[in-house]
Structures are given as structure tokens and as C-alpha cells.
Amino acid sequence: MAKNKRERNQNPQPFLADDDSVASTKKHSKAPKHHQKQDKMISSGMSSKILKEALLQQKEIEEEASGGIAKSAFGSVEEEPNKHEEEEDIDDFGGFSETQSQFGNYEEEIDEDDEKLLEAFLSKDAGPQRTLADVIIQRIKENDANAASEKQPLPKLDDSLIDLYKGVGKFLNKYTAGKMPKAFKHIPSMQLWEDVLYLTQPENWSPNAMFQATRIFASNLGAKKAERFYRLVLLPRVRDDIRKNKRLHFALYQSLKKALYKPAAFNKGILFPLCKSGTCNLREAVIVGSVLEKVSIPMLHSSVALMKLAEMEYCGTTSYFIKLLLEKKYALPYRVVDAVVAHFMRFLEDTRIMPVIWHQSLLAFVQRYKNELLKEDKNNLRVLLETQKHKLVTPEIMRELDNSRNRGEKEDDPMLLDILFFLSGHFLFHVYECKN
């Protein structure tokens, strides 16, 4: 009996306190209490988020009580904010560090000699680029004779609205990361959105604020309104930053990339005004061009952009953008191909020494679209190359023209002929081996 008693007291496996499969009791089988359920449902990450939101709300309440700028910046304007809007990634912006690449990840391939040569093609009579402030001030002075003497006249809006958006502007001047003011998010839906935007003084926004504004306006404005925002706000700021720093701030570079997600607005608001200004230098072309290289553009928008650039009054850096669009290798309509041919033929009697980028853009065009050219176009281009020569590029262009078929001719694929010849020879060799 004693032996059996000792055997019953022995435990063949060690006791596992954390294992629910071993020695489960009636106490463990009971349903968990309400507070125990909450501990399992709310993770540590969720609880910290709730705590963070509570602290932010408390901070806003304290700032509203003290009558600070935050009351104007974050207060509601006309309606309650949309719940979906609060959950957008716009509110999760962490900011761009000043240690990030100020070049925007583009390779700076700017030769000083090329830059000086291209300056000869820039317009000397072009005036300063118009900004949103210029447009609004002119409009106010035309409609109000009393405001003609004021340097920064205010639009005819409610005083509380003016004070609100002046406060938003002060907030955006120092903005680095975090939520954007709710009042600012309402601007795209306003009828007088340009007047309200003018009150925030976009020329003084921080680069990170400009990026956030571009995200909001690109998402919530139609193509025409987005185009005006790009042309009157974003483009002047980008050009001003390049002129001052000889490079582009990373946040502004990302703003250009974000703007390109509305390609029609980007073309009409950034690319075309830049080239039409007649003052686009090589540095600006390289920076904006690197955005075109990195972001995929629909074929239709690229075709329209290429045709408009080809028909535009020539500025040296126009060739740079033409080359970039040609190297995307889209199947262009014949109308666009003919427009590019006409663009190059305009320089038949030009006595100026054309920059290297002009010859490179012609080479890129011939390499990609030589089989879509008419025989007459090829003959005209050969005549052009007799007057506009480059010792390295011109022979390559001539070689491409000579080794191509004309538009409409059938394609004889030499690779396909080689494969058929190889297969037929292999078959005959096999038949010969079988007979012998």
C-alpha cells in the first residue's frame, strides 16, 4: 500500500503554471470578468494612441481657454469635419528632416559650360513670374479704388474669417509635422478659395507646409483649380528656392512629385509655364525633369505635352524636356511625330550654334521613331544635319536614318528570319541523318 501511495504522489511531468492545457480547474473555466475582457481587447499600441489623443484634446482645450493662435487654426469654420478626413494619412505626416537629401534624390548633372551656352537662348525681356498675391492684389485694386494705394490690400470678406486665416498663415509659417489646421482643409471647397488662400500668405509657408498643402489641393481640387494652385503658388516657390539655394528643398521636390499625380494640371501649371517663361535655366530643367523621369505619366498626357513643347517658342531647356518625354518610349500618334519633325526643321536656317542637348534630343527622337517617319521627313532631316552639325552626335543620327524603313512599309524582322533559317537547317540535317 505504501508503495502504491508513493507512486500516486509522484508527478511524471513538471508543473507548467503558464500552460492552460495542464491541470485546468473550475476556476479557469469560468467566464472572464468585464475588466479582464478589456485588458485583452485593448492592445498597448491602442492604449497609447488613446492617451495621445486625450493629451492633444486637453492641449487644445487649454489653448482655446488662453485665446491663442491655435484656437483660430484648429477651430471649425462652417461645418463639422468629416470623420474620413480625420483618418486620412494627411494627418499622420511625420515631416521631412532637414538632414534628408536636399537634392530630392536627383543626380545633379549640370555642366557650367552647357549652362552658359543655354543662357544665350533664354529670353531677356521676360518679366517676373506672377504669383497668387499678384493676381489677388490686382483684382482687389481694380474693383476698389480706395485700395489702390495699399501694398497688401485685404479682400472683402468677413473680419472673423480674415482673422482666422491670418492665424492659419502664421501657423503654416512654422509648420514642421503633425496635423494640418482643419480650417485650411476647408479652403478647396470654398467659392472664394483663392482669396482665402491669399490671406495665409503662401510665399511664407514652410517647405513641409507646402508639401501638405499640395497633397490637400491635389486630392480635393479639380484639374483647372489645381492647375492655378500649381502655377500661382507651387511653381513660383520652387523656382525661388532653386534660385536662392542652387538646389531644391526635399519637401518641395516631393511636392512636385505629388503634383504630377494630376498630370494635366501639372503640364498646364508647372511644365508649360516654366518653358513659356523663357527664363528656365538648366538647373531648373534638371530638377523638374527628374520628377518626370521618376513618376509614370499616362501616354495621352505625355503625347499632348510633347506636342505642345514642340510647337512652343524655343527656349534652350525645352530640348531637355522633349528628350525626357521621348525616352519614355510611348507609341506616339503620327500627329505628334509630325509636330516633333516640324519642331526640328524650324532650325534649318538658324545661324546660332545649337546646344548639345538639342542634338541629343534629335538623336533620341530618331532612335525611337525612325520607322514612323515619312521618306520626305528623313530627307529634310538630312538637309538639316548639313547645317546643324555635332561631331559626335550627327554621325549617329545619320546612321539611324540610313538603317530604317519608312512609315507604312512592312517590317522585315531579321531576328525572325534567322530563327526560321536555323529551324529549317536543323530539320534538314535531322532528315539527312535519318536517311543515312
Instruction: Please write the tens of the pLDDT for every residue from 126-157.
Output: 667 788 888 888 888 777 766 666 677 778 88
CATH class of 67-76+88-107+122-295: mainly alpha
Contacts of residues 56-61 at CB distance under 8 Å and 24 or more positions apart, as own/partner, are none
Residues 268/305, Cβ–Cβ less than 8 Å: no
Average pLDDT score, the chain: 75
Q: What is the pLDDT of residues 286-304, one digit of tens each?
A: 999 999 988 888 899 999 9
- Three-state DSSP class for 239? helix
The arithmetic mean of pLDDT across residues 378-387, rounded, is 92
More confident residue, 170 or 141: 170
Residue 387 reports pLDDT greater than 50: yes
- Contact between residue 305 and residue 127 where contact means Cβ atoms under 8 Å apart: no
Domain ranges of the chain: 67-76+88-107+122-295, 298-436
Most confidently modeled range among 60-69, 108-117, 133-142, 176-185: 176-185
For the segment 354-365, the average pLDDT, to the nearest whole number, is 92
Question: Which of these ranges, 7-16, 127-136, 408-417, has the smallest mean pLDDT?
Answer: 7-16
Give pLDDT, residue 21: 41
* pLDDT for position 314: 87
CB neighbours of 51 closer than 8 A, spacing ≥ 6? none
Question: Looking at residue 27, what is its pLDDT?
Answer: 44
Question: Residues 137, 195: contact at Cβ < 8 Å?
Answer: no
Please state the φ and ψ torsions of residue 107, each to the nearest 5 degrees.
-85, 125
For residues 21 and 354, which has the higher predicted lDDT (pLDDT)? 354
Cβ distance 295 to 328 under 8 Å?
A: no
Question: Which residue in this structure is represented by grid cell 476556476?
Answer: 27
pLDDT(359) > 60: yes
Between 11 and 392, name the one with better pLDDT: 392
Choose between 153 and 383: higher pLDDT. 383
What is the per-residue pLDDT for 68? 42
> For residue range 209-220, what is the model confidence (pLDDT) as tens digits?
999 999 999 988
Query: What mean pLDDT comes out for the span 39-43?
Result: 40
The yes-or-no verdict on residue 200 having pLDDT over 90 is yes
**What letter represents residue 126's amino acid?**
A
CA distances from 276 to 124, 235, 256, 267, 410 (A): 13, 13, 18, 12, 40
Residue 221 and residue 227: Cα distance in Å, rounded?
Answer: 9
Lowest mean pLDDT among 37-41, 54-58, 173-177: 37-41
pLDDT of amino acid 22: 40
Minimum mean pLDDT range among 145-159, 174-188, 224-238, 321-335:
145-159
pLDDT surpassing 80 at residue 94: no
Distance, CA of 305 to CA of 307 (rounded, Å): 6
For residue 335, count other CB atoms closer than 10 A to its CB.
Answer: 9
Mean pLDDT of 170-175: 93
43 pLDDT above the threshold of 80: no
pLDDT at 226: 93
Neighbour count for residue 71 (Cβ, 10 Å): 15
What integer is the mean pLDDT of 309-324?
A: 91
